[in-house]
Amino acid sequence: MNPADLATRYRAYIACLNQQDWPSLGQFVDDQVHYNGQLIGLAGYQAMLEQNFADIPDLAFTVEQLLSEPPWVASRLTFVCTPIKLFMGLAVNGRTVTFSENVFYGFRDGRIEQVWSVIDTAAIQAQL
């Protein structure tokens, strides 16, 4: 897959997340996906995302920066959202916060096999 095609595929994955189109998630995520070095599989990955949306009903993934160098995608995602209770161990409790996530995705055969994620919790903490 060339860089442009991989970037397009990644943006389709983000659209899938924003639409909460869980039946289509397997088109983008490998059955044996690893998250921050731990094998969680597609079911675990979907459960994590579903919990994120339950905890943050207005969650929306916005791609701020995107670099594609197959088989890798590096993305800076921006969020403006209102977690309803604790989030990342912080008592947000219904306040709107803005933060970013820096993520590296490793693709294999057009699907995400590895995810390395760092969320800017310091930005959230500074807003509380």
The stretches in the chain having pLDDT less than 70 are: none
DSSP codes of every residue in 74-114? EEEEEEEE--SSEETTEE-TT--EEEEEEEEEEEETTEEEE
d(C-alpha 114, C-alpha 107), whole Å: 7
Number of structural domains (the chain) is: 1
Q: List CB contacts of 86: < 8 A, sequence separation 6 or more.
A: 92, 93
CATH number of 24's domain: 3.10.450.50
Cβ atoms of 76 and 27 within 8 Å: the answer is no
d(C-alpha 12, C-alpha 112), whole Å: 12
pTM more than 0.85: yes
d(C-alpha 51, C-alpha 64), whole Å: 23
pLDDT at position 87: 85
Residue 94 is part of which domain span? 3-127
pLDDT at position 89: 87
